[in-house]
Each structure stands twice: as C-alpha cells, then as structure tokens.
Amino acid sequence: MGDGGTPSGGSSAEKSDDFGLCYTFLDQHPDNPGWAYWGDNVVVDWSNLTGLGAVNVKSIYMNHVLITGDQATITGIISPKVWPVALCPWVPETFYAFGGCPTINRFDAVNPAGPSSAVSHRYNNQANAPAAVYQATANAAGTIARFHLAGFAFNFIRDDAVGPPMDRVNYLRHTLVWFHNILGTVVGIDPLAFANTLEDNYPNPFNPTTTIKYSIASSGHVSLKIYNAAGQLVRTLVNEEQAPRAEGFAVTWDGTSNNGQSVASGVYFYKLATQGYSHTNKMALLKLGVPPAGPARRAGPSWRELRIRV
C-alpha cells in the first residue's frame, strides 16, 4: 500500500494513495467498515511511511509497533506454525506460514499499541512473537471501524492437516464475520472443481526456457522433477506441500541442473507426483547449432530432420 508520496523523505515508491483511501473508508463509512492487511514485510514498509494517510490509519485505526521484520530471529523457524490467541474474537484453526525465500517470506512480528489493540495470532505460539493484531475503533460516522493486520501474506497460509476446508478459507471467513458480514458455514471445497493434471510444456522444443503447468486435486506433498533420457534426476522444480487452486500452477525451467549448470541439448522427461497421482511428459531442449548428446549422434536422420520429428 502506498501513501501517495514520492520515493523520498520516507514516502512510498508506490504513488497511489492507498492509505488515504483506507483512512477515508474507515473514518467515514456508516456501516461497520473493515480493512484486512496481510503481507510479508508490510509492517516494515508501513513503519517507514510518512504520508498523511499512513500516519492517520496507524495512529487512529491500527495502532501497532514493529518488533522485527523476520520472525525467525525470535522463533528460529522459517515456516512457523501460527496459533490463534484464545482471547481473539474469532478462533480459526492453527496453520503454517510458509516461508523460506531470502527476499520475501520473512514474516513480520508486530505488537499492539494502545488500549483498543490486541494480538490475534502468534508465531510458534510464542508470546514474544505476535503474528497479527486487530483493532476496533469508533469512527466519525458513529459506527465501528475494524482493522486486521498480519505480518504474513494470506497466500502463504498452509494447512497443518490434510482435508477440507483449507485453513486460509476458514481464516478469511472468520475475519469477514468479525467485520460484521453474515456468511454461511464453510463445509469444504467441491472436489469436482479440482483435478490432477500435467499439461504439455510450452514451448516445446524450447531454448532456453519452457513453462510447465499442472493442477492438483487435493492438498498434499507435490513434486515436479526433470530427468534425462537415462533416467537420472536433473532438476527438482517443486518439492513442497501445496493446496489446490483454481488457476493451477505454472513453473518455468531454464535448462539448468540442480547444481546450476546448463544441460545439453536432448530429450528430457518431467514427472509430477502427488497423492495418488503420477504422470510423466516428454520435452526437448534444442540449442541451435549444437546437436544433442547421445543417440542423435548416430548415423541416421540429419540434425534438422531430428528437430522436426521431436
């Protein structure tokens, strides 16, 4: 979220005045407005902003203090389990904040400030590692404005147990209910909405990169690996817990191995494996002017003929 300033003097490089809009909405709306702000390092970013909207929202509608921009310095865990606090007005299930990337996913720890703020979640259930805070404040329109601030991104919420509904679904539902929305009970995700698929990579043949798209039917461990024609593992593209999503997944392979070396031209196989499903497709890496290693060097079709046939 930007504060409408210029990238100097503490203002955001994002020129849109998102915090100004947020302040007006919370301050003037006559029907219990609510604002949820999730994100990696958003509390760090906010602490450096000096625009009027950013200052007003922080001082009036979401009082808070940044503890650290990387909760792992407190918990020692890159992907901590996040626990709800018993006194929170909503109590969703525990879940994991999936971290690990050195430039993002360094989740903020944030403390409440002021009498109307409180902690809603804790990293690793540690009192000194609050993960999210909330605040309810009377606004200028004579109603109650609510704000929920979390130092982790909503899309990095991962289930701590397999089975619907996903924890992020429950988290969102409970948040919306706290914002005084009337919602039905989440009973699960229609299993027909998701399926296990592994699409043909594009482009194919390729040089130097290609994209592999796939989808999964249920939450669980997913691996996507590249093998050479001899069956040797070349590159692991995915090796993590994932939950199904409507848009599926897309992963790019740049033609390098696990040790970062460029691989030779030739035929490669990519294998998707998840719960109860395994499928393998074929692709060809063609570096112009360089014939592929292996069988393509034998007498037979010319190099150009081989390119067409693959």
Task: Give the domain extent around 153.
Answer: 18-178
Same domain for 162 and 49: yes
pLDDT of residue 212: 96
The pLDDT of residue 190? 54
- Per-residue pLDDT for 123 more than 50? yes
Q: pLDDT tens for residues 207-262? A: 999 999 999 988 889 999 999 999 999 999 999 998 888 788 999 999 999 999 99
Instruction: Round to the nearest angstrom and report the end-to-end CA distance of the chain.
Output: 48
Q: Are residues 57 and 153 in the same domain?
A: yes
Residue-wise pLDDT for 277-293, tens only, equals 999 999 999 987 655 45
The model's confidence at residue 166, banded by pLDDT at 50, 70 and 90, is confident
- Domain count for the chain: 2
Compare 139 and 166 and report the one with higher pLDDT: 139
Among residues 126, 150, 178, the one where a domain terminates is: 178
Same domain, 118 and 44: yes
Residue at a domain's end among 153, 178, 203: 178
Last residue of a domain, one of 178, 200, 226: 178
Task: Provide the pLDDT confidence category of residue 27 given band limits of 50, 70 and 90.
Answer: very high
261-276 pLDDT, tens digit per residue, is 999 999 999 999 998 8
Q: Domain check: are 97 and 221 in the same one?
A: no
Same domain membership, residue 156 and residue 46: yes
169 compared with 73, residue with greater pLDDT: 73
Q: What is the pLDDT of residue 308?
A: 36
